[in-house]
Structure 1
Amino acid sequence: MKQMKRKLLSGMMLIVLLFSGWKILTILTENQHNQRILADVQKVYQKQAQQTRSVTSTKPAFVELKKINPDIKGWISIPDTAIDYPILQSSDNDFYLKHNYQKEIARAGSVFKDFRNQSESEFNTILYGHNMKDGSMFADLQNYLDEDFFNKHPTFDYETETKSYQVEVFAAYETTTDFYYIETDFSQPQAYSNYLTTIKQQSKFKTNVTVTDQDQIITLSTCDTGFDYEKGRFVIQGKLIEK
């Protein structure tokens, strides 16, 4: 009887080990595939990015990118990070949470724009990305928790189909979904001014960036399980300066 129990236990342990090994291999294979296809789209973007265009037309890079996927709406690049990605947008905030820019199911998802952002004239453009353990997507946003990194990287680049912006970072903070930092409706008087005052107070570090109710901002959001496993978020916010 004891020998039978030992064999049963050994068999169960072997099954667990085999399943764990298969799971790890699946994750590694998916991560490698994701890195390859991201490298491909980065080459397309970089090749076309320097070409000239008329003031009102779509940039050459986005003409090519939209041939790959019409849902590509922009590009974000942050110096000294892995963040150099196309920005996707669908009719909801769920699809690109679980799909890459080729519309394949992917754990890493994509960097994507809030579906409510339908105009470049909106005050608050919101981008989301997973905090991946392999360092991809928006994982490197948390570098801004380090004051030295925060001070040495005051700007990053954000592009849409027709415009290029330098983003001046003015806020970086940990919070939860209980704090509604993803507001887009500022139709009420003073609503935007009050919002700006609130988010500036949230920032872990202070800057000299002046942001008024006449300025547009961008919000970058990722999960922060270290802060709160269920509802934790890490947020970067910056002022848009058109180039």
Structure 2
Amino acid sequence: MSEQNTHGDLSTLPWPDGWRWTPRRDRDYQAKAATGVRTVEVEFEGAREPALLLPMRSVPRWQGIVFTVAGVGLLATAVLIGVVSVATQTWTGIVGVLVIGGAGTVFGLGGLAGLRSRKEAVAGLLLSPSRLIFDGSVDRLAMSWNDVAGFRLYMIRYGFRVLFPMPWHNWLSIDARDPHAVLASAGHEAAARLARRLKGKSVVAVADNRMIMSPLVAYHTLRYYLENPADRRELAGAEAVNRVHKGLLL
């Protein structure tokens, strides 16, 4: 089957509410199409099962190194400011210590997390007949299809407009019926407590630039198998891969 026939129907998938559409973003999504979509074996609770992979980019090690170095640098700066503030009794410097120290901690922990990427990780959203798994290469979160409440789509802008338009990304969040239970069962106790306090439903959020394939195709694939439980048996083999490549997701 030719590449054109394989991906031909993907261009007809409707753009969902919540995401920002631009001609350039649309072309980017169409160019990615169903790149990298395939069946893989995943291990869960000691057993292996086939699953459909909607691939994402892994966290690169160089990024982890850069963030770690930046974190150490910021923490060292905070310590230096603290020492100078104490020596000169300039207590206003303590504010700088707290701000810079906090930023250094965030950068450092983020960098270390990137360096801890699991060797067996297959970064992406993995859809098996029984569950939906998010593998971010650092850690993994699994939930049964019955636990999935739905998906939320939204756009986030970053930074401040000065000379150029602010960068932005379309995001996809996976909502759980009981996010506290899903996060706690995966060992994310702190996130589970935060979810309970904020009364939020989202347990996973993915930006469009993280996806190797078209985020639009990924969304419609997730939506299709959530709404059509009888077809989830396809996720164990080539039927699901063919469905995605042909765009039979409506």
Q: Say yes or no: TM over 0.5.
A: no
The structure whose RCO (Cα within 8 Å, separation 6+) is larger is 2
TM-score, normalisation: structure 1: 0.27
* Structure-2-length-normalised TM-score: 0.27
Indicate the structure with greater helix content.
2
